[in-house]
Amino acid sequence: MPIPIIKFKKLSPQAIIPSYAHPGDAGADLVAMDAHTLEPLQRLAIPTGLAVELPQGYELQVRPKSSLALKHGITVLNTPGTVDAGYRGEIKVILINLGQSTFEINPGQRIAQIVIAPVIQAEFMLVDSLGASQRGEGGFGSTGKTYAQ
C-alpha cells in the first residue's frame, strides 16, 4: 500500500508540523499555536497555525490525547473531528475542559493527535423495507449489562 503524501502549509512561522512520537504509531501529535485558558466546561477552537492538503480518498481525523483526558479532563469535543480532502483552511481543534480545574494551554503544547484514514463513499438508497437481522430493532442497552456465566 503506497504511503500517502500529506502536505502542510504553515500559516504562521511558529506553527509545528505534526510528527509521530514512535515508529509505527497511528497518531501524530498536533500542537497549539498560542496560549489559551480553558475553564471547567468551557470549549474553544484552538488554532494550530496549519493548513493541509490531503490526497483525494483520505481524511484527517483529529482525536484526543489520552494523557490530557486522563490527567486533566481535556478532550476533543467532536471526536473524531474530520478534515476533508477539499478543506484548505486552518486546522483548529475543538477542546473542552471536563475537569474541575482551569487548564492552561501553552504555545507548542501537544493538544491532539491526527490519524490519516481512507474514505469510502457510499451510494444511499431509499427503500420500503429492510432485510431481517438477528438484532432487529434492539437499540441502546438491548444486549444486556453482563455476559451470561
Residue ranges in the chain whose pLDDT is less than 70: 1, 141-145, 147-149
17's torsion region: left (phi>0), alpha (psi -120 to 50) or beta?
Answer: beta
pTM: 0.86
Distance CA 130, CA 84 (A): 31
Say which CATH class 7-118 falls into.
mainly beta
Distance CA 125, CA 68 (A): 41
Percent of the chain with pLDDT over 90: 86
| pLDDT, position 66 | 95
| pLDDT, position 119 | 96
Non-local (6+) Cβ contacts of 106 within 8 A are 32, 35
| pLDDT, position 141 | 67
pLDDT in tens, 78-98: 999 999 999 999 999 999 999
| pLDDT, position 56 | 95
| pLDDT, position 27 | 96
Percent of the chain with pLDDT over 70: 93
